[in-house]
Chain A
Amino acid sequence: MTKVSMKVNGKPVSGEVEGRTLLVSFLRDTLGLTGTHVGCDTSQCGACVVHVDGQAVKSCTMFAAEAEGCEVTTIEGMANADGSLSTIQQAFQDHHGLQCGFCTPGMVMSAAALLAGTPKPTEAEIRHYLEGNICRCTGYHNIVKAILAASGQDVSDIGGDAIAAE
């Protein structure tokens, strides 16, 4: 067992891990931060995306020991200080960018990383960036729309929920 120490959502944490312990296991099992999810075992689905030193990382693909001394942000650290939803989180709710919620933490973390580097992404840039995040519920329509909206772009002409029976 090895001792690892890091900052998670701004708080210093440490714990004993095996060499093979994945960062996601450390977050979920040791720290009890169960918002980060595991949806596959081949680094494909993106449900486990967190930020490590500001970079979007699949936490199932990194050993806990590799995060020694790093600053880690998980979905639990994404809301505003007063507990209200951040702009991206609010956009996901406003535009129905989630259904079962399982891929959602990874989607939000990826969206935040995208917007940090590309403040006004095009639809194509968003779709390309989300290649590593799989959602089975939404058909991506409202996720892409939510990210466009979170970046301050007009989404009023994107079809969807406005058309309905009165």
Chain B
Amino acid sequence: MPKDHGIGASSKRREDKRFLTGKGRYTDDINLPGQAHAWFVRSQVAHGRLTGVDTSAAEAMPGVLRVFTGADFEGVGGLPCGWLVTDRFGQPMQEPGHPVLARGKVRHVGDPVAVVVAETAEQARDAAEAVEVEIDELPAVLDMKAALDPDAPLVHDELKNNLCYDWGFVEENRAAVNAAFETAAHVTTLDLVNQRLVPNAMEPRVALGDFNPATEDSTLYTTSQNPHVIRLLMGAFVLGIPEHKLRVVAPDVGGGFGSKIFHYAEEAFCTFAAKQLRRPVKWTCTRSEAFISDAHGRDHVTRIELALDAEGRFQALRTETHANMGAYLSTFAPSIPTWLHGTLMAGNYKTPLIYVNVKAVFTNTVPVDAYRGAGRPEATFQLERVIDKAAREMGIDPVELRRRNFITEFPYATPVAVEYDTGDYNATLDKLLEIADVAGFEARLADSKSRGMLRGLGLNCYIEACGIAPSQLVGQLGARAGLYESATVRVNATGGLVVMTGSHSHGQGHETTFAQVVADMIGIGEDMVEIVHGDTANTPMGMGTYGSRSLAVGGSAMVRATNKIIAKAKKIAAHLMEAAPEDIELKDGKFSVAGTDKSVAWGDVTLAAYVPHNYPLEELEPGLEETAFYDPNNFTYPAGAYACEVEVDPETGKVTVCSFAAADDFGNIVNPMIVSGQVHGGIAQGIGQALLEAASYDDYGQLLSGSYMDYAMPRADDVPFYRVDHSCATPCTHNPLGVKGCGEAGAIGSPPAVVNAVVDALQRAGHTGVTHIDMPLTPARVWAAMQG
């Protein structure tokens, strides 16, 4: 029987009622008395010298309070980059400045040049039209390889070229890897593009700055996945506000997918302008503006080569990737194509020699940073595509080729610096074959054929490193922040609990799942536990939510704090029952003395903690509140196997996803319903990448796919019902809950399954020359592939 409460139960979400009745409180729902409105004037060209900004006409417009330009931010810091990558020659990456408002040059369409603040949003918008921006246009640098040409125009004049870094991993393996290719029985090579995507959380970004002149406190309400990180970055590096005078609130946030991790110029602007104007200043992003100001994702161009012996055993892997940074370094941008990508190139396989080369390049495009999966989808896609291609070339069944190379013993140290603690890749693959009904494929193929359609089956495996991350390790790798997580558990006198977590929920359901964990540990009802998050004023310093880390890292901190609570409560219970603390057992919310019928209730103990009349005050402080920080000693390694079946219309090239199955190993699971939901959403994003989505620039650096009219978001009729399973669980060995994280898996594992399926369909139909089609697999591309 499935559990009906606590860890392992599909508890219904407590968040839902407010969202279903219109009572959510998103940043744009907050309005402060006296609030003014900001509208950004953005560059309409990709690259140019900023020769003048005339604000006089705008300043004379109705309702305008002030027009800000880059000159107002002299003496204000730029937006910091949180990760320093060291190149393969031991040199630090080239790190250009990133001003809040452009100075000297504009470097991408959407680069903010000026901001109008007015009484109403409409007045600010009207006046923004009257700001005259003079730009001497320069040739735009768009193609990454062309950007590295010695004659290419410079995105940043102060840098020696457009190369951020040339990273080799593991550099010491380079010669050995190359040697292995010389002697390999078979080498499969694949050139591919992992196209640029726009994350597109449904809630556009919003920032609302406030300043109290009496106390000199600043407050920023913002759509963020990590309010403490924003407070630290903006306070320390941009505006010079110490943490105790700056509060950052991220209330209900409408999705993030990575794009709301980063510190953005608009946040700093609204906080700054509120202090200047002594009025709250609010900015609400339009969707069109989001397309040119939210950090984009992916954008890798890769050559991958796999060396195999005659039996198909992997001998060596070599990749060369050009990774687009865009015009500036977004907060975590340098780490994505390196440490979140190179370290995953072993995948699920025993490849003894691996070398990854990544050239990160500046271009006149929107900055690129983490988007759901962040580096790991790029690693998985190229690896699982090249394995499929190798299987076809060598005449080995793709499932068998994978099995032949699976890592089967754990812990396993890969040649790319990570150690997988646990896993069972055969088990998830077996489960996948079952739930995808692979045995029944031939019958479905025959049915498709009878209707004149092509059909294909694609499978792949994936592994990811989650629970980002051990602070000391990431520090060695260049992170400029610690990546622990925190929790404070406050027990009230009458027995209810409030958990204040540094994690942030923006759709993941932490308010439900975190309560399940704590309630289960104590043996009380979930409704006795409240979860507080999103406000630096009432949560301990934490690093927020991304990289599938909330339960693995934040949940672990919460378990630690709860264990401290239980230990203290047992001492109180022991005192009340005149027993030894080590004899006290806690079960179902009741403390009892082992071997006796003596017991006291949870509420008796919590009341004693706050009304300490009969209490060991000489040994124990009153009260029941504990804080814990948790810094793991390794990443977690969720893994699994995915399968997709497609039909391809031979007349038009249109691809229909007929079925999609996912077998994941997430370790232990707190709420299966929520975990399935996370996988569903990730799969849709992966299908979106595989078939629909692409951020496309023209030769002048104009974003062609700049709205939902042009950027093809997956819609309900683009996807099927999914079959998901997470019963193959090998619990994480190093965190107290044994959990691995589930937020990104769907987006990581699904794109290669779709592309493998389409290539399979075309191959089965006799298009044997088609070994790869670049994403998105639009009808035009698939049709063109079929024409040879």
A residues in contact (CB < 8 Å) with B: 18, 20, 28-29, 33-42, 44-45, 47, 74-76, 78-79, 85, 89, 92-94, 96, 98-105, 108, 123-124, 126-128, 130-131, 133-145, 158-166
* C-alpha spacing A163/B669, complex, angstroms: 12
CB interface residues, B 661-680, toward A, < 8 Å: 668-669, 672-677, 680
User: In this complex, what residue of A is CB-closest to B18?
Assistant: A101
Contact: B287 with A89, CB < 8 Å? no
A36, A44, A144, A166: which contacts B22 (Cβ < 8 A)? Answer: A36
Q: Which residues of B contact A124 (CB under 8 A)?
A: 717
B443 within 8 A of A: no
B10, B507, B680, B684: which contacts A101 (Cβ < 8 A)? Answer: B507
**29 pairs across A/B with beta carbons < 8 Å?**
A36-B22, A40-B708, A44-B708, A44-B709, A45-B708, A85-B17, A92-B20, A96-B676, A99-B509, A99-B677, A100-B203, A100-B253, A101-B252, A105-B22, A124-B717, A127-B716, A128-B717, A133-B715, A140-B716, A141-B722, A159-B435, A159-B724, A160-B680, A161-B10, A161-B677, A163-B725, A163-B727, A164-B675, A165-B726
Q: Which residues of B contact A161 (CB under 8 A)?
A: 10, 672-673, 676-677
CB interface residues, B 252-279, toward A, < 8 Å: 252-255, 257
Query: How many Å from the CB of B38 to the closest CB on chain A?
Result: 16
0/1 interface trace, chain B 20-35, chain A, CB 8 Å (1 if under): 1111111011010000
Known contacts A39-B202, A134-B713: A163-B724 contact under CB 8 Å: yes
Contact: A102 with B255, CB < 8 Å? yes
Q: Which residues of B contact A79 (CB under 8 A)?
A: 21
* C-alpha spacing A140/B685, complex, angstroms: 11
Q: Which residues of B contact A143 (CB under 8 A)?
A: 716
By secondary structure, the A interface counts as loop
Query: How many Å from the CB of A59 to the closest CB on chain B?
Result: 13
Contact: A159 with B722, CB < 8 Å? yes
* C-alpha spacing A92/B28, complex, angstroms: 24
Identify which of B22, B31, B713, B715 gathers the most chain A CB atoms within 10 Å of its CB.
Answer: B22
B22, B675, B722: which contacts A33 (Cβ < 8 A)? Answer: B22
Identify which of B12, B201, B676, B713 gathers the most chain A CB atoms within 10 Å of its CB.
Answer: B676
Q: Which residues of B contact A137 (CB under 8 A)?
A: 202, 255, 507, 677, 681
B8 within 8 A of A: yes
By secondary structure, the B interface counts as loop
Contact: B708 with A102, CB < 8 Å? no
A18, A101, A142: which contacts B254 (Cβ < 8 A)? Answer: A101
Contact: A139 with B681, CB < 8 Å? yes
Contact: B683 with A135, CB < 8 Å? no
Query: How many Å from the CB of B328 to the closest CB on chain A?
Result: 25
Q: Which residues of B contact A103 (CB under 8 A)?
A: 202, 254
Identify which of A39, A143, A164 gathers the most chain B CB atoms within 10 Å of its CB.
Answer: A164
0/1 interface trace, chain B 702-730, chain A, CB 8 Å (1 if under): 00000111000111110101111111010
Known contacts A144-B716, A165-B668: A136-B257 contact under CB 8 Å: yes
Contact: A42 with B707, CB < 8 Å? yes
0/1 interface trace, chain B 375-389, chain A, CB 8 Å (1 if under): 000000000000000
Query: How many Å from the CB of A126 to the closest CB on chain B?
Result: 7
* C-alpha spacing A35/B640, complex, angstroms: 38
Query: How many Å from the CB of A32 to the closest CB on chain B?
Result: 9
Query: How many Å from the CB of A80 to the closest CB on chain B?
Result: 11
Q: Which residues of B contact A45 (CB under 8 A)?
A: 202, 287, 708
B403 within 8 A of A: no
Q: Which residues of A contact B22 (CB under 8 A)?
A: 33-36, 74-76, 78, 105
User: In this complex, what residue of A is CB-closest to B722?
Assistant: A141
Contact: B254 with A138, CB < 8 Å? no
B19, B31, B287, B722: which contacts A98 (Cβ < 8 A)? Answer: B19
* C-alpha spacing A158/B724, complex, angstroms: 11
Q: Which residues of A contact B29 (CB under 8 A)?
A: 28, 34
User: In this complex, what residue of B is CB-closest to A21?
Assistant: B122
B56 within 8 A of A: no
Contact: B723 with A139, CB < 8 Å? no
Number of A-B contacts (CB under 8 A): 227
Identify which of A18, A78, A93, A94 gathers the most chain B CB atoms within 10 Å of its CB.
Answer: A93
Contact: B727 with A164, CB < 8 Å? yes
Q: Which residues of A contact B716 (CB under 8 A)?
A: 126-128, 130-131, 133, 135, 140, 143-144
B residues in contact (CB < 8 Å) with A: 2, 8, 10, 12-13, 15-26, 28-29, 31, 122, 200-204, 252-255, 257, 286-288, 435, 506-509, 668-669, 672-677, 680-685, 707-709, 713-717, 719, 721-727, 729, 746
Identify which of B15, B286, B677 gathers the most chain A CB atoms within 10 Å of its CB.
Answer: B677
B255, B682, B707: which contacts A40 (Cβ < 8 A)? Answer: B707
User: In this complex, what residue of B is CB-closest to A124?
Assistant: B717
Query: How many Å from the CB of A82 to the closest CB on chain B?
Result: 13
Known contacts A93-B12, A96-B13: A39-B204 contact under CB 8 Å: yes
Contact: A41 with B287, CB < 8 Å? yes
Contact: B20 with A98, CB < 8 Å? yes
* C-alpha spacing A35/B28, complex, angstroms: 11
Contact: B255 with A35, CB < 8 Å? no
A42, A100, A140: which contacts B202 (Cβ < 8 A)? Answer: A100
User: In this complex, what residue of A is CB-closest to B710?
Assistant: A42
* C-alpha spacing A35/B286, complex, angstroms: 18
* C-alpha spacing A46/B714, complex, angstroms: 14
B203, B674, B713, B721: which contacts A96 (Cβ < 8 A)? Answer: B674
A74, A108, A141: which contacts B721 (Cβ < 8 A)? Answer: A141
Known contacts A79-B21, A160-B676: A140-B203 contact under CB 8 Å: no
Contact: B20 with A93, CB < 8 Å? yes
Known contacts A40-B708, A134-B708, A165-B672: A101-B15 contact under CB 8 Å: yes
A29, A36, A47, A89: which contacts B20 (Cβ < 8 A)? Answer: A89
Q: Which residues of B contact A75 (CB under 8 A)?
A: 20-22
Q: Which residues of B contact A78 (CB under 8 A)?
A: 20-22
Known contacts A36-B22, A79-B21: A142-B680 contact under CB 8 Å: yes
Query: How many Å from the CB of A124 to the closest CB on chain B?
Result: 8
User: In this complex, what residue of B is CB-closest to A35?
Assistant: B22
* C-alpha spacing A164/B685, complex, angstroms: 22
Q: Which residues of B contact A136 (CB under 8 A)?
A: 200-202, 255, 257, 681, 685, 713
Q: Which residues of A contact B672 (CB under 8 A)?
A: 161, 163-165
A20, A37, A126: which contacts B26 (Cβ < 8 A)? Answer: A37
Q: Which residues of A contact B508 (CB under 8 A)?
A: 99
Query: How many Å from the CB of B459 to the closest CB on chain A?
Result: 18
Contact: B203 with A102, CB < 8 Å? yes
User: In this complex, what residue of A is CB-closest to B505?
Assistant: A100
* C-alpha spacing A135/B674, complex, angstroms: 16
Known: A99-B509, A99-B677, A102-B255. 15 other contacts (CB 8 A): A34-B26, A39-B202, A44-B713, A75-B22, A89-B21, A98-B19, A101-B19, A102-B203, A128-B716, A131-B715, A131-B717, A137-B255, A139-B680, A159-B723, A161-B676
Q: Which residues of A contact B23 (CB under 8 A)?
A: 35, 76
Query: How many Å from the CB of A75 to the closest CB on chain B?
Result: 4
Contact: A99 with B722, CB < 8 Å? no
* C-alpha spacing A85/B674, complex, angstroms: 20
* C-alpha spacing A50/B715, complex, angstroms: 20
Query: How many Å from the CB of A95 to the closest CB on chain B?
Result: 9
